[in-house]
């Protein structure tokens, strides 16, 4: 809650997809460029959590939306 509304999160469960996937779930985060440091702090906290010990594999992909001009 500390990072809302600057960082939005959507959780996708792979069991809801039509094709089997190698992951149980996918977290999708959106944030403005100026909130990147807050997002990095959020990731540090998540990775240090007890729940993270059950993570077998992680893939981090960052994309940037270009203005429509």
Looking at the domain assignment, is residue 63 inside a domain? Answer: no
Looking at the domain assignment, is residue 27 inside a domain? Answer: yes
Would you place residue 16 in the very low, low, confident or very high pLDDT band (cuts 50, 70, 90)? Answer: low
Would you place residue 31 in the very low, low, confident or very high pLDDT band (cuts 50, 70, 90)? Answer: very high
Looking at the domain assignment, is residue 46 inside a domain? Answer: yes
Looking at the domain assignment, is residue 61 inside a domain? Answer: no
The range of the structural domain enclosing residue 28 comes to 7-54
Looking at the domain assignment, is residue 66 inside a domain? Answer: no
Quick one: average pLDDT of 17-22? 68
Residue 13 forms beta bridges with which residues?
A: 25
Tell me how many domains the chain contains. Answer: 1
pLDDT at 60 over 80: yes
Looking at the domain assignment, is residue 30 inside a domain? Answer: yes
pLDDT at 23 over 80: no
Whether the Cβ atoms of residue 30 and residue 4 lie closer than 8 Å to each other = no
Confidence (pTM)? 0.75
Looking at the domain assignment, is residue 33 inside a domain? Answer: yes
Would you place residue 24 in the very low, low, confident or very high pLDDT band (cuts 50, 70, 90)? Answer: confident
Q: Is 52 helix (H, G, I), strand (E, B) or coil?
A: helix
């Amino acid at each position: 809650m500390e990072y809302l509304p600057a960082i939005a999160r959507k959780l996708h469960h792979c069991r809801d997809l039509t094709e089997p996937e190698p992951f149980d779930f996918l977290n999708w985060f959106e944030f403005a460029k100026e909130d990147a440091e807050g997002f990095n702090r959020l990731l540090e906290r998540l990775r240090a959590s007890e729940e993270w010990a059950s993570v077998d594999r992680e893939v981090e992909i960052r994309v940037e939306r270009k203005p429509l001009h």
